[in-house]
Amino acid sequence: MRAFPLDPVADPDRSAPSTIPELLEEQAKRRGTETAYVAYDRQARAFRPWSWSAVAARVEERRAGLAAEKLRPGERIALWLPNGLEWVCFDQAALSLGLVVVPLFLKDSRASLRAILEDSGAAFIVVQSPEDWQSLGPDAAPLLKRVVIVDAPETLLEDGRACALGDWLAAYGGRSSAPLAPDPDALATIVYTSGTTGKPKGVMLTHRNLLAVARAVLARNPGSDRDVFLSYLPLTHIFERVVGCYLPLILGARVVFARSVEHMREDLLVARPTILLVVPSLLDRLHERALAVGRRNVLGRWLLGLALARGWQVFEAARDGRPVGLLAALLWRLLYAIVSRPIFASFGGRVRLAVSGGAPLSEDTARFCLSLGFPLVEGYGLTESASAVTGFRVGATIPGCVGPPLPGIDLRIAETGEILVRSPGVMHGYWGLPDMSAQALHDGWLRTGDLGTLRDGLLFIRGRLKDGIVLSNGEKIWPDGIEAAIRQDPLFHQVMLVGDGQPRLTALAVVAPNAWQTFAQDLGLDPKADASLLASAARGAALDRIAAHMQHLLPAARVGAVSLLREPWTIERGLITPTLKLRRSAIQQQYGPEIKAMLHDLQYKRLCRR
């Protein structure tokens, strides 16, 4: 397996830029005509490179426009844009003037967007299209002074506050005389949590918070200006923003903006990234597809099994510092070429580091990737700590574990099992919520709300403190890991466990359309009929499949009944967050009748009597 040659970046020193705009200014001076970003040009229907100096010039135009709006340092500017050059340029321009950036999720509910604009008191917003702005309604964000629309006709729109980007730049753009000297400890951004347990809270982060974490990540896994990143996870998410946007800026590395999730396969082959940020669902799908291909013929299944077994032996030996025999090494090289390389070719063939974050990664999927030679590391972080807290060095990953603390970060476990974090990335509090801020921050430690254990300096996540399920026998269960294991089965698109006060767990499960069709037909059921979802044969067979993924659990943690659902849980229905986390209380409330019906299921009652 060929390694991509890199020169590690030197450890940051005190002379390094301490604010995000200073980083861009330094790279523009040092690298000038070198490519900084690559973005798709819809008119040319091709990807177009942008040099550091060209990006700096675009930032300066927008900076002049913002300065002309008479916005004062500390005022909030909202960005409701897809990943791309405009996001980066407005972010840089705002930060250089001491403004506070409030990123908005593209797919968030309109009610949530209006609430965030009102709560943050945003005075300025940049949106992609007139339709986006109009969808918020005429009474949205009365405090807004200006709305700039990127894809709008070059004319003033009906709303007197709104204008097209071209018109705005023509009227206000140019060069600004305002000094470039934001305070490293000044508020840089307010990032709103996804609101799984209620109203989203605005996390206040400074330049120092953001850059300290980016540099800690680099200290664990160094990079260079020859690295290439593909930006496709929302920049609204703190993980992508810090590790996928500001970290490349420190390195002077290239960032390629993907067009959309729908174009990911083609864009990966265009970008050929060396560093890839992934969410577990992407790796889960890759795992499922590889297993499905392997099942089609005996030879494929045998080769995949051999590659997984031999690859895991080689990986473990290298991780633990044990020698690998010559014959084993030669066999692994052959298997890598035959099995692994074709599987991972869809990632562009040049990934030297893949970072999984944003949600728990199942042990099975992690082991699958590592066994096939994929350079996967997993970590743990949260918005309140400016993303990363822990993470493995490449080659050291242990499935089921999220690694040791990053350099400069301390962890401890409270008596309740809650993970406490002390880090230069820890937030300054929640915007406008002093009482909640005081609850979350105590003596320099952040109460994360997550449960974990430390073993030999390594962190293992157990779940969310508030998501714990207490069965009627007093047994406590944290559902995240169990749900992730069940979702390994291609039949289940979404899963939520229920069980507070019950003798056994029950599960609400949204079926994946294609897998459900095959599953129902094999049982002699009509996949289009809603009655088939309620059929005892379907529920019994689905329960058997769930049980197959839970054999390692104690009997008390196993599922006693399942309710099969067709309609996915979506952001628009208020059942998941923009980061695809479950809004558990909302789901439980909406599916009360289904939950009640499971408790009266005869099989469930028999299990409870055991």
CA-CA distance, 566 to 560, in Å (whole number)? 20
Strands (E), 138-272: 146-149, 162-164, 187-192, 202-206, 228-231, 254-257
Q: Residues 230-235: what's their mean pLDDT?
A: 94
358: region left, alpha or beta (phi > 0 left; psi from -120 to 50 alpha): left
How high is the pLDDT of residue 556? 65
Fold of 468-609: GMP Synthetase; Chain A, domain 3 (3.30.300)
Per-residue burial over 216-255, b if 16 or more Cβ lie within 10 Å, else e, is bbbebbbbebebbbbbbbbbbbbbbbbbbbbbbbbbbbbb
CA 195 to chain centre: 15
Q: Tell me if 584 sits within 8 A of 196, measured CB to CB.
A: yes
* Confidence band for 308, pLDDT divided at 50, 70 and 90: very high
How high is the pLDDT of residue 181? 61
pLDDT in tens, 83-98: 999 999 999 999 999 9
Contacts of 394 (CB under 8 A, 6+ apart): 221, 352, 353, 375, 377
With a cut of 50, say whether residue 154 has pLDDT above it.
yes
In the chain, where does the domain assigned CATH 3.40.50.980 lie? Answer: 36-182
CA-CA distance, 278 to 107, in Å (whole number)? 19
How high is the pLDDT of residue 422? 97
Fold of 36-182: Rossmann fold (3.40.50)
The mean pLDDT of the chain is 89
Show the DSSP H helices in 272-362 as ranges: 280-294, 298-320, 326-335, 341-344
Counting Cα atoms < 13 Å in the Cβ hemisphere of 304 gives: 19
**% of residues, the chain, pLDDT over 70:** 93
Cα 73–Cα 76–Cα 82 angle in degrees, nearest 5: 130
* Confidence band for 361, pLDDT divided at 50, 70 and 90: confident
- To the nearest 10 degrees (0 to 180), the angle between helices 85-96 and 20-31 is 120
CA-CA distance, 169 to 173, in Å (whole number)? 4
CA 262 to chain centre: 17
CA-CA distance, 306 to 312, in Å (whole number)? 10
CA-CA distance, 445 to 361, in Å (whole number)? 26
Largest CA distance in the chain: 77
Question: Which of 385, 289, 409 has the alpha carbon at shortest distance from 343?
Answer: 289
In the chain, where does the domain assigned CATH 3.30.300.30 lie? Answer: 468-609
CA-CA distance, 506 to 499, in Å (whole number)? 6
How high is the pLDDT of residue 2? 27
Task: Name the pairing type of β-strands 162-164 and 146-149.
Answer: parallel
563 - beta bridge partners? 508
Residue type, 99: L
Counting Cα atoms < 13 Å in the Cβ hemisphere of 131 gives: 2
* Confidence band for 9, pLDDT divided at 50, 70 and 90: very low
How high is the pLDDT of residue 309? 94
Q: What are phi and psi of 484, to 5 degrees?
A: -65, -40
Q: Is 514 helix (H, G, I), strand (E, B) or coil?
A: helix
Token pair of 130 as six digits: 């007139």
Question: Which of 76, 69, 187, 72 has the alpha carbon at shortest distance from 121?
Answer: 76
Which helix (H) or strand (E) segment holds residue 172: the answer is helix 165-172
Q: Tell me if 127 sits within 8 A of 141, measured CB to CB.
A: no
pLDDT in tens, 465-516: 888 787 877 777 888 878 888 888 899 999 999 988 888 899 999 999 999 9
How high is the pLDDT of residue 143? 82
Which helix (H) or strand (E) segment holds residue 193: the answer is none
CA-CA distance, 319 to 395, in Å (whole number)? 6
CA-CA distance, 144 to 137, in Å (whole number)? 13
Highest mean pLDDT among 12-21, 269-278, 359-368: 269-278
37-46, 168-177, 236-245, 528-537: least confident range: 168-177
Q: Tell me if 269 sits within 8 A of 348, measured CB to CB.
A: yes
CA-CA distance, 489 to 548, in Å (whole number)? 9
How high is the pLDDT of residue 5? 32
Q: Residue 416: how many CB atoms within 10 A of its CB? A: 8
511 - beta bridge partners? 492
Q: Residue 439: how many CB atoms within 10 A of its CB? A: 11
